[in-house]
Chains A and B, each alone.
Chain A
Amino acid sequence: MTNSVRLESGGSVIVPIRKPLTDELGRTLLRDVGEMISRGNREIRIDLAGLEELDSPGCAWLIRAVRAGKAAGAEVKLVGAAGRPAELLELMRPNFEPLPPPSPRPGFLERMGDRGLTVWEEFRQALGLVVDALYWSFIAPLEGKGVRWKGLLDEIQAMGSSAIGIVCLINFLLGLVIAMLSAAQLRLFGMEILVASGVVIGFARELAAVMTGIVVSARTGAAVTAELATMKVSEEIDALKGMGLSVSRFLVAPKILAILVSMPILTILGFLSGVAGGFALGIFSLGFTFERWWWQTHQAVSMGDISQGLVKSVFFALIIVLVGCHNGLRVRGGASEVGKATTRAVVMDIFLIIVADMVFATIFYYTT
């Protein structure tokens, strides 16, 4: 395809190209050049004098031929180009200085060290955020530095009121499930009435707070992270900082206050829904009267149980918002990072909620 190949003295060859340099011709050219080099030609000149038009794929083929020559220790020169092809070649010709080699993979110790540093760095950031956020949420308002009430009400609406439905539904269903499970066991002893006690104690101490925490972390925790991460990516956070404003004050503190109002209320509603689930089974399936079930429930639960749940819910609330803000604010990069941060936040939320729950369980177990 590359027409006549003329041998010249000194092992140099001239390859004239007279047709438009299509992909087909380009492939042939590359193959021919390879063959010539393997036959011992050390200098190959590709004559472009007959070329009238050239496009960028054509340029790429010529560049590949030159590079192939170089790699094989021969010299491939482009000669005779004139007019537009010459100019295009000049414009397009990349300087193929070798790219710097990718840095070598660090050794085991180095990686461990890096990882340790990363974790430490993140811990420090998180600690800074916690201190700053708690200051702006609790201490600054006492010093008369204003809370943004408008923002606070919007946040309560988003985190609290609009979550009521799903929190109640989930707790109700869970109450029903727990009641059914325990009824099957207690029936063996003819003590189905104890289902009422089991459900109410379980929900007061444990289940309402944890279930509500998980629902809220999936709703609010994810939303907080996504919101802050998007603001970070679109430089809104930098804009705030650049105006000399505190991110903790404007973005984190209203969320903390809002969730501290919302979470205990949601937990109480969750508790009532769970107990209602137990009632539903006891009255409609086990055949107890309302009064009997009510008496058993009332008698089984104490304020102490309920306040255990509420104390937990306050801590879970703080975990959810702080983890959400922390993950949102440490994002760098673009859209995919927002998604990753959100996933990370929810996983971290649920993990920390369970860990905190275990810590509380241990404390209550050994102190009461």
Chain B
Amino acid sequence: MKSPIIKVRDLKAGYGETVILEEITFDIHPGEILVVVGGSGCGKSTLLRHLVGLQPPLSGSISYWGRDITRMEEDELGRLLHRVGLSFQGGALFNSMTVGENVALPLEEYGIGDREQRRILARMKLNLVGLGDQGRRYPEELSGGMKKRVGFARAIAADPEVVFFDEPSAGLDPVIGAGLDQVILELRRLMDLTMVVVTHELYSIRTVADRILMLDGGKIIFIGTLEEAESSDHPRVRQFFLRQPDRGIGNRE
């Protein structure tokens, strides 16, 4: 097995006194799709924010290709993030630009290709998410699901090596959600993309996951393949995959 792209060691995260994540240690290997799951408020989004350096951890280390990003200068981290794509939950599109310009922005900023080349690349990526003909519209003219797909196209615009997806298929209609799962799989197969996907959708997990990382109460309670997850005897993991509700939502523990 090739050496991991991302190594997270003993990560502890939170705000001031509040600890949200603790004892987080795991690797992400090249070409794999790691799905991060867990109940609401378990720290999934916080983990994602730390993995891309948006927030410094309280302690521990996160290294990409052997370099620790928690100790990096801002511009060095910036250059490293050129090789990383990030797709936000709501799309996070720039409202003052057209959809096409949004997708072409990373290409332009990273100095990739000439104008025509960027236009075609943006168009190709939009086509991947089924929005090839929407390039001239503005984000406010799109539906929530469409924005999310444009955000996805922008995340993969510059052919990153690692892509983080925050809830790629939540809120999409099932057909488009499944289509997006297929695109994720195709991209991995054809371009060796490494992906970290945060999701709740069981169907999506079954389709794309190579490995599953499950968080609960700020700790990793499970990491392994889907088969291992389904045969796990950890009560929370069983509950999640068998979709057993708690007795009264919110009455946990």
User: Interface of A with B (CB < 8 Å)?
Assistant: 23, 55-57, 59-61, 63-64, 84, 87-88, 91-97, 99, 102, 332-337
Contact = CB atoms under 8 A, between A and B. Distances in A.
Contacts of A87: 186, 189-190
B95 interface: yes
Given A91-B190, A334-B140, A335-B95, A60 B159 contact: no
A55 B123 CA distance: 15
A63 B124 contact: yes
Contacts of A23: 113
Contacts of A59: 124
A226 B207 CA distance: 44
A288 B29 CA distance: 86
Interface in B114-141: 116-117, 120-121, 123-128, 132-133, 135-136, 138-140
B124 A94 contact: yes
A99 B190 CA distance: 29
Contact of B112 (A57, A95, A334): A57
A64 B136 CA distance: 20
B251 interface: no
Contacts of A93: 124, 127
Contact of A56 (B132, B138, B159, B186): B159
Contact of B133 (A84, A97, A332, A335): A97
Given A56-B191, A96-B123, 12 more contacts: A55-B159, A55-B191, A56-B125, A57-B117, A59-B124, A60-B121, A84-B189, A87-B190, A99-B133, A102-B136, A334-B140, A337-B95
A335 B128 CA distance: 28
A88 B135 contact: no
Given A57-B112, A57-B113, A96-B123, A333 B140 contact: yes
A57 B135 CA distance: 19
Given A91-B128, A91-B186, A94-B132, A56 B139 contact: no
Contacts of B112: 57
B231 interface: no
Contact of A94 (B117, B123, B138, B190): B123
B96 interface: yes
A61 B191 CA distance: 17
Contact of A95 (B125, B127, B135): B127
A88 B123 contact: no
A335 B95 CA distance: 8
A104 to B, nearest CB: 15
Contact of A92 (B113, B116, B127, B189): B127
A61 B117 CA distance: 7
A94 B95 contact: no
Nearest to A337: B95
Given A92-B124, A99-B133, A334-B95, A64 B116 contact: yes
Nearest to A84: B190
Contacts of A336: 95-96
Contacts of B96: 334, 336
Contact of B120 (A84, A94, A335): A94
A301 B19 CA distance: 65
A334 B139 CA distance: 9
Contacts of A334: 95-96, 139-140
A93 B113 CA distance: 18
Contacts of B132: 94-95
B99 to A, nearest CB: 12
A336 B140 CA distance: 12
A60 B113 contact: yes
A63 B112 CA distance: 17
B17 to A, nearest CB: 28
Contacts of A60: 113, 117, 120-121, 124
The 10 closest A-B pairs by CB, nearest first: A334-B95, A94-B127, A60-B120, A88-B190, A92-B124, A333-B140, A94-B123, A336-B96, A60-B121, A94-B124
A336 B159 CA distance: 29
Nearest to B93: A334
A94 B127 CA distance: 6
A63 B191 contact: no
B213 to A, nearest CB: 28
Given A57-B112, A88-B190, A63 B120 contact: yes
A240 to B, nearest CB: 20
10 contacts: A56-B124, A56-B159, A57-B117, A94-B124, A95-B127, A99-B135, A99-B136, A102-B136, A334-B96, A334-B140
A88 B113 contact: no
Contacts of A335: 95
A335 B121 CA distance: 27
Contacts of A337: 95
A30 B95 CA distance: 35
Nearest to B134: A99
A333 B140 CA distance: 6
B4 to A, nearest CB: 23
A174 B154 CA distance: 54
A335 B93 CA distance: 11
A292 B185 CA distance: 90
Contacts of B136: 99, 102
Contacts of B127: 92-95
A109 to B, nearest CB: 27
A294 to B, nearest CB: 56
A88 B190 CA distance: 6
Nearest to A334: B95
Interface centre among B124, B127, B128, B140, by most A CB within 10 Å? Answer: B124
Nearest to B120: A60
A92 B153 CA distance: 12
Nearest to A92: B124
